[in-house]
Amino acid sequence: MNTKIERTQTGVRIERRLLKVLKGTAEHLDMSLSDLIEGIALHSFENKPPFSEETLRKIAQLKAVYDLDWNAEDSHKFTEGKT
């Protein structure tokens, strides 16, 4: 099924280590970062897991490489600022 969509450019700000993990995941899956983010959102809206066990293992490796030790609960505690 080919569904025609209209994409728009956005100026989303995201933490740099998280972005590196997302980019690495997208590269691993041979897709664009935009497609990865859209897929994660659409799966989340239906309360479905967006990743296979194999992809989750790769994400764990990428998180270790980029020193990203956050979990979902941490997202509610973020404050902006320089460290």
pLDDT by residue, tens only, the chain of 83 residues: 788 989 899 998 999 999 999 999 999 999 999 999 999 999 999 999 999 999 999 999 999 999 999 888 887 887 887 65
Vertex 9: Cα angle to 12 and 42 (nearest 5) = 70
As a dihedral over the C-alpha atoms of residue 53, residue 57, residue 60, residue 64, rounded to 10 degrees, the angle is 180
Q: Which residues contact 34 (CB under 8 A, 6 or more apart)?
A: 7
pTM attached to this predicted model:
0.85
| Residue 83 falls inside a structural domain | no
Q: Report how many domains make up the chain.
A: 1
Query: 37 lies in which domain range?
Result: 16-71
| Residue 4 falls inside a structural domain | no
| Residue 30 falls inside a structural domain | yes
User: Is the CB of residue 31 less than 8 Å from the CB of residue 24?
Assistant: no
| Residue 51 falls inside a structural domain | yes
